[in-house]
Amino acid sequence: MPFVNGKTMKLTTFERVLRQGNYAENTVTAYMYAVRDYYSRYSRIDKCNLLEYRELLIHSYSPKTANLRMQALNKYLENIGKNELKIKFIKVQEESFLENIISDEEYAFLKNRLKNEPDQKCYFAIRFMAGTGARISELLCLRAEHVHAGYFNICSKGGKVRRLYIPTQLQEELLNWLNRKSGYVFLNKYGQRITARGLSSRLTYYVRKYGMNEHVVHPHAFRHLYAKKFLERYQDIALLADLLGHKNISTTRIYLRKSSTEQWRLINQIVDW
């Protein structure tokens, strides 16, 4: 069937373009899922089908998820030379607070519990993400050579290089635990580099074991914690944007806000009238 073959070829090309553009593995997976989901519902790409699919997304998913799917489709349309068919995103009302942010107390509790587990993989994973602002996809690329050097150069989308610094205390802890000079840091039980799903599942196991909130304690939460703590100690938002690899500083500004819990505590402290 020529159409199916042509579609398959386009999807294969699209995936290759994403990977060559150094998109994170999670982003590649999400984009490919969105395009395949569209094709599972419609046999062809045209304005009518795209608008119908947009309405389906709006009524079936959160604005954030719907926009991610539309972003994926727009990238695909750009890739196949159909820019004129791109669809508009939903305007999302920004919240005035940070939601589902792990607190200092929760982080300290989790860190102390994980440090006493026989397998300290999760302990060092959360320590690294919280101490460097790394994404889980970046964490999985960490090698012993980077730990010895004290930094990790990451090539992001567009070929831009971002340097991820490893604080000395964390570096020393990692070196004592690793006790080797080369190879990937985070390995599975077979001695191969662990996957994002594998590490996330392991963390979820411990979160449930300790009776913590899964919506708050997840891999990306530690990147949020790094950003928030950084701005508390050193209020240079431009530097933080560089360290996190944000293209637009407006993305970083969210970390200037307090969580809803912190707002509640503050109100209780200051409002006595």
Q: Residue holding tokens 């070829």?
A: 9
* Span between the terminal Cα atoms of the chain, in Å: 74
pLDDT band at 270 (very low <50, low <70, confident <90, very high): confident
Supply the CATH classification number for the domain 2-85. Answer: 1.10.150.130
Query: In terms of CATH architecture, what is 104-267?
Result: Orthogonal Bundle (1.10)
pLDDT band at 92 (very low <50, low <70, confident <90, very high): low
Closest of 182, 160, 71, 176 to residue 123, by C-alpha: 176
Per the CB < 8 A criterion, the answer to whether 65 and 33 are in contact is no
Ranges of CATH 1.10.150.130 domains, the chain: 2-85
Most distant pair of Cα atoms in the chain: their distance = 74
Segment 212-241 mean pLDDT: 90
pLDDT of res. 187: 94
Buried b (16+ CB within 10 A) or exposed e, 107-133: beebeeebeeeeeebbbbbbbbbbbbb
Asked if residue 25 has pLDDT above 80, the reply is: yes
Per the CB < 8 A criterion, the answer to whether 199 and 84 are in contact is no
pLDDT digits 0-9 by tens, 233-263: 998 999 998 898 888 888 788 777 776 677 7
- In angstroms, the CA 120 to CA 127 distance is 11
Sign of the torsion formed by the C-alpha atoms of 136, 141, 142 and 144? positive
pLDDT digits 0-9 by tens, 133-176: 999 989 999 999 999 999 999 886 556 788 999 999 999 999 99
Ranges of CATH 1.10.443.10 domains, the chain: 104-267
